[in-house]
Amino acid sequence: MCDSGQSEEAKGSAQGSPVIRRLGIIATCAVGGSLFALYAVAAPFVAPALRKVCLPFVPATSTQVRNVLDVLRARSGTLVDIGSGDGRIVIAAAKQGFSAVGFELNPWLVWYSRYRAWREGVHHRTSFHISDLWKMEQLEAKLQSELQTSAKVVACRFPFPTWTPDHVAGEGIDTVWVYDAKTFKSQVTTAKLLKNSEDSRTPHQ
């Protein structure tokens, strides 16, 4: 009987082994599929856009968003967010009455921002565009030449390389730098006048 019991047990083990193997394969495929799906969804938000000089997507913190809105509290009109990421600053500004526009290189983030704006009920006050405007020195020149003197520029995490901010709010990664167009336009004008003056004093051969 012992021999018979051992045989039945062995037989049961032999029959159960393929079932266990199949369950193991199914579980492995399920976990693998879930990880792949998670990567497919998360990669566009975590990985930096592919370019020579790239910055990874780091979403704005709630403190940073609050700092931006605080420094713009007395203003209204149009807000443009350059490097808008997942659109949270644009959406928050739209909720405060701004007509808000976001420019972002990563198309996945642009599409996600449009969805978030629709979900938050502010899609009629927002727009998002795929564009690379992160070349800071060129951007400085563009803003200096095209902005009206009444405009205000707010930079998050990355201050402009040659401008002097009129105001700084927050600290650490939540720091925002505020630039008045009147100030940096006058700085450019002064620099040009000094350069012209130096050129006029330089003897020509």
Q: Which residue in this structure is represented by tokens 């105001």?
A: 167
Look at 99 and 82; give whichever has higher pLDDT.
99
Which pLDDT belongs to residue 160? Answer: 86
Residue 70, pLDDT > 90, answer yes
Asked if residue 10 is part of any domain, the answer here is no
What's the CATH code of the domain at 133? 3.40.50.150
Asked if residue 5 is part of any domain, the answer here is no
Total number of domains in the chain: 1
**Domain of 98, in residue numbers:** 62-191
Which pLDDT belongs to residue 48? Answer: 44
Asked if residue 45 is part of any domain, the answer here is no
Asked if residue 139 is part of any domain, the answer here is yes
Residue 60, pLDDT > 70, answer yes
Angstrom distances, CA of residue 57 to CA of 42, 48, 65, 115, 122: 11, 6, 15, 18, 23
Query: Per mean pLDDT, which of 11-25, 90-104, 134-148 is the most reliable?
Result: 90-104
Asked if residue 56 is part of any domain, the answer here is no
Query: Per mean pLDDT, which of 48-57, 100-109, 194-203 is the most reliable?
Result: 100-109
Residue 3, pLDDT > 50, answer no
Which pLDDT belongs to residue 167? Answer: 92
Asked if residue 104 is part of any domain, the answer here is yes
Query: Per mean pLDDT, which of 32-36, 100-104, 187-191 is the most reliable?
Result: 100-104
Question: What sign does the CA torsion over 133, 137, 138, 140 have?
Answer: positive
Asked if residue 50 is part of any domain, the answer here is no
Q: What is the mean pLDDT of residues 105-125?
A: 95
Provide the edge-to-edge strand list for the sheet that holds 152-156.
Answer: 152-156, 176-180, 167-169
pLDDT digits (tens, 9 = 90+) for 125-150: 999 999 876 566 788 888 888 888 88
Which pLDDT belongs to residue 21? Answer: 52
Residue 53, pLDDT > 90, answer no
Residue 90, pLDDT > 90, answer yes
Backbone angles phi, psi at 132, to 5 degrees: -105, 105
Which pLDDT belongs to residue 147? Answer: 87
- pLDDT tier, 123 (very low <50, low <70, confident <90, very high otherwise): very high
Residue 185, pLDDT > 70, answer yes
Asked if residue 150 lies in contact with residue 181, where contact means CB atoms within 8 angstroms, the answer is yes
Asked if residue 203 is part of any domain, the answer here is no
Q: What is the mean pLDDT of residues 110-138?
A: 89
Look at 204 and 165; give whichever has higher pLDDT.
165
